[in-house]
């Protein structure tokens, strides 16, 4: 066979990499969801780098079951025009300590493997890439996330003599 007639090798998902991403995302989400004010969980936080406002992120519980939760993570506001507001639905498996993206933006379901090329131009490893993006986004939120001003312990004019 010549190189022109050879068929490309089919994509084989890297389950170790996907599993590692889902494990890490579970730990990152757990750390973000530990933020509490007055005994109630904070579902929104702001992103700041020094004095620069970067946006606001919301975590909303859509569904709860015995061992799983379905969360909606969305950036409801950002300060720049270069980034679309990310929006992801994440399934959290508490018994397995894993969190996996099940939908992203308008895509209702993310296929584990895609033929390539395809009409939507999804990558063969789209599921791994989307979970990798969630890992990067959660790391960013952990690094630059702060409680919104409405949760501040004191108001601006309070306690000044």
Residue for token digits 């630059």? 144
The pLDDT of residue 82 = 58
Q: Which of 1-10, 49-58, 91-100, 113-122 has the highest mean pLDDT?
A: 91-100
For residue 46, pLDDT beyond 60: yes
Q: 53 pairs with which residues across the strands?
A: 48
The pLDDT of residue 115 = 67
Return the number of other C-beta atoms located less than 10 Å from residue 144's C-beta: 17
Report which DSSP code applies to 9: P
Mean pLDDT of 121-139: 84
The model carries a pTM of 0.77
The pLDDT of residue 103 = 87
Residue among 94, 120, 125, 116 at smallest CA distance from 105: 120
The pLDDT of residue 161 = 45
Going by pLDDT thresholds of 50, 70 and 90, the confidence category of residue 105 is confident
The pLDDT of residue 39 = 63
Return the number of other C-beta atoms located less than 10 Å from residue 159's C-beta: 8
For residue 136, pLDDT beyond 50: yes
Is 69 or 51 the better-scoring residue by pLDDT? 69
């Amino acid at each position: 066979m010549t190189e022109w007639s050879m068929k490309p090798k089919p994509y084989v998902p890297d389950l170790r990499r996907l599993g590692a991403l889902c494990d890490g995302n579970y730990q990152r989400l757990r750390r973000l969801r530990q933020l509490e004010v007055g005994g109630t969980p904070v579902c929104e936080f702001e992103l700041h780098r020094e004095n620069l406002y970067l946006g606001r992120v919301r975590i909303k519980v859509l569904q709860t079951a015995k061992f799983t939760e379905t969360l909606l993570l969305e950036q409801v506001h950002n300060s720049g025009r270069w980034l679309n507001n990310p929006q992801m639905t994440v399934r959290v498996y508490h018994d397995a300590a894993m969190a996996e993206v099940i939908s992203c933006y308008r895509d209702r379901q993310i296929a584990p493997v895609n033929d390539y090329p395809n009409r939507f131009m999804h990558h063969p490893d789209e599921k791994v890439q989307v979970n990798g993006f969630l890992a990067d986004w959660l790391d960013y939120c952990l690094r630059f996330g702060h409680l919104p001003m409405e949760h501040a312990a004191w108001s601006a004019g309070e306690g000044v003599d």
